[in-house]
Chain A
Amino acid sequence: DVKVTQSSRYLVKRTGEKVFLECVQDMDHENMFWYRQDPGLGLRLIYFSYDVKMKEKGDIPEGYSVSREKKERFSLILESASTNQTSMYLCASTPPPRGRGEQFFGPGTRLTVL
Chain B
Amino acid sequence: GESVGLHLPTLSVQEGDNSIINCAYSNSASDYFIWYKQESGKGPQFIIDIRSNMDKRQGQRVTVLLNKTVKHLSLQIAATQPGDSAVYFCAENYGQNFVFGPGTRLSVLP
Contact = CB atoms under 8 A, between A and B. Distances in A.
Interface of A: 4, 9, 33, 35, 38-45, 90, 98-108
Interface of B: 2, 5-8, 32, 34, 36, 41-46, 49, 89, 91, 93, 95-103
Nearest to A88: B43
Nearest to A31: B96
Contacts of B89: 42-43
B102 A42 contact: yes
A contact patch SS: loop
A41 B89 CA distance: 11
Nearest to A9: B41
Nearest to B90: A42
30 contacts: A4-B43, A9-B41, A38-B6, A40-B5, A40-B6, A41-B102, A42-B99, A42-B100, A42-B101, A42-B102, A43-B44, A43-B89, A45-B97, A90-B44, A98-B96, A99-B93, A99-B96, A100-B93, A100-B96, A102-B34, A102-B46, A102-B49, A104-B46, A105-B36, A105-B45, A106-B43, A107-B41, A107-B42, A108-B41, A108-B42
A101 B32 CA distance: 8
A39 B8 contact: yes
Given A42-B102, A102-B34, A107 B5 contact: no
